[in-house]
A and B are shown apart, each in its own frame.
Chain A
């Protein structure tokens, strides 16, 4: 599993768009794709400290006969080799365990509720739970397939933001697409303090090499500033900033971003390795 991307396939037009996004991501980052076509309405992910139970909405289980065919078609159309995941372990006979050592996983904004709920500003509780526990970044694709041509990393200085930057660098290196850092300067800090954070984490090299374009905004109006994020950018962002209430909500920055930007997002959780 180590270097693959896990995609749970929903055999609906919406699921097609999601899969197309995953396939595009895989193509750009040269990551093999692994598609799970669910046979049971639930699966478990045993993370290090928590089991996440993922209930799938019924659309996932629709038409299992055509599901595989559809998925294969989509993957082959993009020139990738289809790979299907068959669960090896079961907690109970109808309750498969999905490994948690993938490199990426694609989750739609909601995985348990019907896709009619998919909208900006809503990320389902299961998806949040996966992000909270996963050691891999979670890709939340835009509802309609759209290719991205650049990468924008939101950097607010927290440990998660540093991980997001690392993940962003990785994607940028693999895909050869340009990377932009987006920083909304928060009150006591200055531009230099953000640079210092990168220096402390030995990541400033990337900036010095000139590969990264760094945008600073200091008006304190995140909502408006987000308009500057290109429409064809893949967003990479850490799940939490400095916030305290980590259980129910992500950091305020992420909540704002995910409710304002329609772009595809890569969310890096606190357990990212």
Chain B
């Protein structure tokens, strides 16, 4: 666009004057590269280390490994990078919903390292969360470098998250779905383009550097109508598994806190138990991509009992690893649990109905993955796209949609919110764009303050008050002390109207006698959501804003309404 004017314009100028959407797409692509690199880095090192560690798995002290890894990981987070905060992905969502997508630079590598320590040593957790945080944080900081505003930065944070997921699974659609469904919570054209680009770029980066993470050759499933019916059972089973996982995780978290207050010992303890479980069920250790690979490649058929135990073992190990303070996410464990569960389900129905020609184990394993992921994350689209992209075939789409949606719906009854959102919702911090809560959170009392009220003093005679009423265009008159200026009460015109027209009282009544001292006041730091509930409770239209005893102004429902509407209007993307 600026080409015609020649080279006099600096690239910097061209960039800054560029159309917002184009700018976001370009930055999205850059972030996609970094997100892809982060995921490749973590995956490569995980694979490399696990190959080494596999040679010593049978050694007697092997169960200690996860303990040592988890302890180091938590010490690293706490003392080396000083990155506190237990939950990882919620932090990104919090930042997007409250803080304009600002994330700390240190988060771009700290979780990668700590996640690596936890997972490589055998802790049962996924590398996706660390990579998502890393990608999001890289995105946030790149956005800041490019001088983006809050809303644009939020989109770029979403780009980072999308690129991370997309590049791990070689699944750009899953990346887009995850970012929009879980991180940003809204689908708009402005969001979609840069996120899609970041996803694709991230996928491409990892494809060039390492090939597919969960390789699966496209094949046609020979599935019949009965398989579809069986899917419903699997959906119920996966949602049950998800609920158990979520509840166990919460339990583990609260119980570990009681056991010891020394954080690294806590993590080590969790790791130790996982290590012991791993002695019997080595499948539960690590992020488990290898397990998924083997299960869906149908190279692994342990039978009903083992697969059942492995499923439970993985659920327990995951809860222990993450609940005790290990670093990592739930994404990969969900997939492992899902695949093992699918396996278990297939073996079960195959033995109960031996006469039926059931579809293969991989069919149910993949469906199980979609089911568990959808219900734990409460993000069915992410689950659907991920599995569809792994299999590379759209003929598989009917059962996947069926399982994902049913599973997510059933678990929604018991665990209505995504694991990532629960904590934020409890704190009231999950603010999706253009929702009531978001609008109220962005407005502040000081913006709504009406300062043009006429103040009256308690010693004023009614006559003087009447003359003030005449000049005012408001119905509320705050009463303040004439010397100290501190707030004493209010007069609402409705309450005193009868006296105003009675000249007989003009000299004998003073303001101090007719003011209402029993007035609810709000402070400028109060949340608007709380103020609204005060309005409703007090049945009033105006409330005085008081700070340190001083009257600052009035806040009224009418102004609030006006600003609320404007806020909604400007938040609309056009």
The reply to whether B86 and A93 contact each other, CB–CB distance below 8 Å, is yes
In the complex, what distance in Å separates the CA atom of A1 from the CA atom of B548? 11
The reply to whether B525 and A95 contact each other, CB–CB distance below 8 Å, is no
A31's nearest neighbour on chain B, judged by CB, is B548
Minimum distance in angstroms from B178 CB to a CB of chain A = 21
A47's nearest neighbour on chain B, judged by CB, is B102
Interface 9-residue window, one of B10-18, B60-68, B90-98, B536-544: B90-98
B107's nearest neighbour on chain A, judged by CB, is A51
B549's nearest neighbour on chain A, judged by CB, is A81
In the complex, what distance in Å separates the CA atom of A89 from the CA atom of B524? 16
Minimum distance in angstroms from B136 CB to a CB of chain A = 13
**Contacts of A92 on B, CB cut-off 8 Å?**
84-87, 90-91
A55's nearest neighbour on chain B, judged by CB, is B82
In the complex, what distance in Å separates the CA atom of A42 from the CA atom of B84? 8
The reply to whether B84 and A95 contact each other, CB–CB distance below 8 Å, is yes
The reply to whether A32 and B144 contact each other, CB–CB distance below 8 Å, is no
In the complex, what distance in Å separates the CA atom of A97 from the CA atom of B104? 13
Summed over the interface, the residue pairs from A and B with CB atoms below 8 Å come to a total of 53
A66 at the interface (CB under 8 A from B): no
B497 at the interface (CB under 8 A from A): no
A50 at the interface (CB under 8 A from B): yes
The reply to whether A50 and B102 contact each other, CB–CB distance below 8 Å, is yes
In the complex, what distance in Å separates the CA atom of A51 from the CA atom of B103? 7
**Contacts of A49 on B, CB cut-off 8 Å?**
102, 144
**Contacts of B102 on A, CB cut-off 8 Å?**
46, 49-51
B181 at the interface (CB under 8 A from A): no
In the complex, what distance in Å separates the CA atom of A89 from the CA atom of B98? 10
Residues of B87-143 whose CB lies within 8 A of A: 87, 90-91, 94-95, 98-99, 102-104, 106
In the complex, what distance in Å separates the CA atom of A27 from the CA atom of B340? 68
B248 at the interface (CB under 8 A from A): no
Minimum distance in angstroms from B509 CB to a CB of chain A = 33
With A81-B548, A91-B94 as given contacts, are A41 and B84 in contact (CB-CB < 8 Å)? yes
**Contacts of B450 on A, CB cut-off 8 Å?**
none
A271 at the interface (CB under 8 A from B): no
The reply to whether A89 and B82 contact each other, CB–CB distance below 8 Å, is no
Minimum distance in angstroms from B275 CB to a CB of chain A = 27
**Contacts of A99 on B, CB cut-off 8 Å?**
525
A119 at the interface (CB under 8 A from B): no
Give the residue among B84, B87, B427 with the most A Cβ atoms within 10 A. Answer: B84
Residues of B490-517 whose CB lies within 8 A of A: none
The reply to whether A2 and B84 contact each other, CB–CB distance below 8 Å, is no
Minimum distance in angstroms from B348 CB to a CB of chain A = 40
Render A46-67 as a binary contact track against B, CB cut-off 8 A, 1 for contact. Answer: 1001110101000000000000
For this complex, into which size category does the number of interface residues on chain B fall? 20 to 34
Minimum distance in angstroms from B262 CB to a CB of chain A = 14
Minimum distance in angstroms from A173 CB to a CB of chain B = 18
In the complex, what distance in Å separates the CA atom of A144 from the CA atom of B423? 44
For this complex, into which size category does the number of interface residues on chain A fall? 20 to 34
In the complex, what distance in Å separates the CA atom of A20 from the CA atom of B395? 74
A40 at the interface (CB under 8 A from B): yes
Minimum distance in angstroms from A185 CB to a CB of chain B = 35
Render B408-419 as a binary contact track against A, CB cut-off 8 A, 1 for contact. Answer: 000000000000
**Contacts of A46 on B, CB cut-off 8 Å?**
99, 102
Residues of B175-222 whose CB lies within 8 A of A: none
A73 at the interface (CB under 8 A from B): no
**Contacts of B446 on A, CB cut-off 8 Å?**
2
**Contacts of B103 on A, CB cut-off 8 Å?**
51
In the complex, what distance in Å separates the CA atom of A42 from the CA atom of B95? 17
**Contacts of A88 on B, CB cut-off 8 Å?**
527
Minimum distance in angstroms from A142 CB to a CB of chain B = 27
In the complex, what distance in Å separates the CA atom of A17 from the CA atom of B429? 38
The reply to whether B84 and A3 contact each other, CB–CB distance below 8 Å, is no
B559 at the interface (CB under 8 A from A): no
In the complex, what distance in Å separates the CA atom of A55 from the CA atom of B547? 30
**Contacts of A32 on B, CB cut-off 8 Å?**
547-548
In the complex, what distance in Å separates the CA atom of A89 from the CA atom of B423? 12
A214 at the interface (CB under 8 A from B): no
**Contacts of A41 on B, CB cut-off 8 Å?**
84
In the complex, what distance in Å separates the CA atom of A73 from the CA atom of B229? 73
**Contacts of A259 on B, CB cut-off 8 Å?**
none
**Contacts of B144 on A, CB cut-off 8 Å?**
49-50
In the complex, what distance in Å separates the CA atom of A212 from the CA atom of B550? 31
Select A89's contact among B85, B87, B104, B429, beta carbons within 8 Å: B429
Give the residue among B144, B429, B525, B527 with the most A Cβ atoms within 10 A. Answer: B525
The reply to whether A40 and B84 contact each other, CB–CB distance below 8 Å, is yes
In the complex, what distance in Å separates the CA atom of A229 from the CA atom of B88? 51
Give the residue among A1, A42, A92 with the most B Cβ atoms within 10 A. Answer: A92
Minimum distance in angstroms from A55 CB to a CB of chain B = 5
With A51-B102, A89-B98 as given contacts, are A3 and B82 in contact (CB-CB < 8 Å)? no
A252 at the interface (CB under 8 A from B): no
A90 at the interface (CB under 8 A from B): yes
Minimum distance in angstroms from B486 CB to a CB of chain A = 12
A41's nearest neighbour on chain B, judged by CB, is B84
In the complex, what distance in Å separates the CA atom of A263 from the CA atom of B130? 46
B148's nearest neighbour on chain A, judged by CB, is A49
In the complex, what distance in Å separates the CA atom of A272 from the CA atom of B370? 51
30 A-B pairs with C-beta separation under 8 A: A1-B524, A2-B524, A2-B547, A3-B547, A40-B84, A42-B84, A44-B104, A49-B102, A50-B102, A50-B144, A51-B102, A51-B103, A51-B104, A53-B82, A53-B104, A53-B106, A81-B548, A83-B548, A89-B429, A90-B427, A91-B85, A91-B91, A92-B84, A92-B90, A92-B91, A93-B85, A94-B85, A95-B84, A95-B85, A99-B525
5 smallest A-B Cβ distances: which pairs?
A: A92-B85, A32-B548, A95-B85, A46-B99, A95-B84
Other A-B contacts than A51-B103, A51-B104, 10 sampled, CB-CB below 8 A, are A32-B548, A46-B99, A49-B102, A53-B104, A55-B82, A81-B548, A83-B548, A89-B429, A92-B85, A92-B90
Chain B residues close to A by CB (< 8 Å): 82, 84-87, 90-91, 94-95, 98-99, 102-104, 106, 144, 423, 427, 429, 446, 524-525, 527, 547-548
